[in-house]
Amino acid sequence: MSDEPPNPAATAEAVRELLVTVQEALEHHLAAIEARDGESDPAVFAAYEHARDALMAYDDALYDTYDEVLPVDVYAFGDEDDDDL
């Protein structure tokens, strides 16, 4: 392990790369919704999970790099706390 501090430029670049991943995941989610085959289409569920995971990774990186968070809460599908929304 290195005792050197992380390279801020590399960290900022990683945040931007995750932002692109979020955009792609959201576009894939929308495409899955538009092409869904019924209410319980597994492709939509998989796209939802991928978008959720991408958003959570981006949110974590945003916080770690800039001490900022997204202005939204990201929930796992079927969270019991969803009823409180």
pLDDT tens, position by position, 51-73: 999 999 999 999 999 999 999 88
User: Taking phi first (over 0 means left), then psi (-120 to 50 degrees means alpha), and beta for anything else, what does residue 38 get?
Assistant: left
Alpha-carbon span 64 to 70, nearest angstrom: 12
For residue 5, pLDDT over 90 is answered with: no
pTM: 0.79
Q: Which amino acid is at 49?
A: E
For residue 4, pLDDT over 80 is answered with: no
pLDDT in the model for residue 73: 86
For residue 42, pLDDT over 70 is answered with: yes
% of the chain with per-residue pLDDT over 70: 80
